[in-house]
A = this chain, B = another copy of it.
Amino acid sequence: MKYQKIPEATIRRLSRYSRCLEVMEQAGEEVVSSAQLANRCMVNAAQVRKDLAYFGEFGIRGVGYYVKDLFNDIKKILGSNKEWRMAVIGIGNLGSALLSYKDFLKQNYKIVAAFDIDPPQVIGRVSEKLGKPVEVLHINRLKEVAKERRIEIGLITTPPSEAQAVADLLVEAEVRGILNFAPTQIVVPEGFVAKDVFFTTILDNLAYLLSNN
């Protein structure tokens, strides 16, 4: 398993394989071939094997892969075998939706804190829909609470004008991962990771495909 640069596309596919394997495991399937898995994920069978080959040998020739083992191995590769502790910052429309997103629970992503800036109708409110309710705190407690609750990922759902400032706070609080939903490109120092999710870029993409087909 010597080091090599792993294509980002490979990581995205591993995530898909993982979701497929989860379904298969629940369905009681024990063994799967690269061809079957590829089929389900709409990719090439060699692609599946290549993707896995970056990280080692997981299959048995003539047999395939043990669903349960491969599922665990991929989770280990992705780092999704551990529980990730997250905070949501900006509890408006989207932030509230994320707070009650059930799939985060099923997967290993857990929202353990929520922050907003002052609006009295929000601060102190408790999101009850999740397993454990989360109280919305004032943003000025971010640093303190981030340490206390060992927050590792921050989800930014503030207006775009505030997004970079919030990111800076997260960096200061040593929250190393940021997922930003505001339509602004977030910049973070070396050692931190920020990903932007641009809804309108996705729509622009769709619009292009619709216009040209």
Q: Are B210 and A78 closer than 8 Å at their CB atoms?
A: no
Within 8 A of B (CB), among A84-129: 84, 93-94, 96-97, 100-101, 103-104, 107, 109
Q: Are B204 and A80 closer than 8 Å at their CB atoms?
A: yes
> How many copies make up the complex?
2
Given contacts A97-B94, A210-B176, contact A11 B205 (CB under 8 A): yes
**Given the complex of chains A and B, what is the CA–CA distance between A71 and B69 in angstroms?**
51
Q: A197 on the interface (CB 8 Å rule)?
A: yes
Chain A: number of interface residues, binned into ranges? 35 or more
> How near does chain B come to A209, taking the closest CB pair, in angstroms?
5
Inter-chain contacts of A176 with B (CB < 8 A): 210
Secondary structure type dominating chain A contacts: helix
Q: Are B210 and A101 closer than 8 Å at their CB atoms?
A: no
**Given the complex of chains A and B, what is the CA–CA distance between A181 and B71 in angstroms?**
23
Residues of A within 8 A of B (CB): 8, 11-12, 14-16, 18-19, 42, 77-80, 84, 93-94, 96-97, 100-101, 103-104, 107, 109, 152-153, 176-177, 179, 183, 185, 191, 193, 195, 197-213
20 contacts between A and B (CB under 8 A): A11-B204, A11-B208, A15-B201, A16-B198, A19-B200, A19-B201, A78-B207, A78-B211, A79-B208, A79-B211, A80-B204, A93-B100, A94-B101, A97-B97, A103-B183, A107-B200, A152-B210, A153-B207, A193-B209, A195-B206
